[in-house]
Amino acid sequence: MIISTAVSKNNVPIRLTRERWSHITNSHREITSKDKTKIIDVINNPDLILRGDVGELLAVKKVFGKNLWFVVVYKETDKKDGFILTAYITTDSRWLFQRKILWNKE
C-alpha cells in the first residue's frame, strides 16, 4: 500500500509504501514517525543526488545547523515509476561523498 509519493529531480513519481516505511522505522531507529514528511521532502528538494552501488540513487539533504545528513535511497524503475528502498541519517560525510555526484543544488 502506497502511503506517500514524492517526485524525483528526473520528474519520476517515487512511492513510499507501508512495507518500506515499516522497514525504515524498524531498521533505522534515528528515523521516527515525524520524519515521514522529511523523507518525501528530501526526494522533492535534495541538496545532492548521489549514485548508488547497483542502480539506486541517494537523495541527500544536510540537516540545518548540524553535521548530519538525511539520506533517502530510491530506485527509478522507468520514467513513470520509482520507489523508496530505505532512509537514514548519517554523520559520515567522508563515506557519503566518495560517491559520484549526479546532481547538485548549487
Tens of pLDDT along the chain (106 residues)? 999 999 999 999 999 999 999 999 999 999 998 999 999 999 999 999 999 999 999 999 998 778 899 999 999 999 999 999 999 999 998 888 899 999 998 8
8 Å CB contact between 6 and 43: yes
What Å distances lie between residue 39 and 26, 69, 80, 98, CA to CA?
15, 12, 20, 22
What is 18-74 written as a DSSP string?
HHHHHHHHHH-TT--GGGHHHHHHHHHS-SEEEE-SSS-EEEEEEPTTSS-EEEEEE
Quote the pLDDT of residue 97.
87
Q: How many CB atoms within 10 Å of residue 101?
A: 11
Quote the pLDDT of residue 93.
86
Nearest to 38 by CA among 13, 66, 69: 69
Quote the pLDDT of residue 64.
77
Give the domain ranges of the chain. 2-104
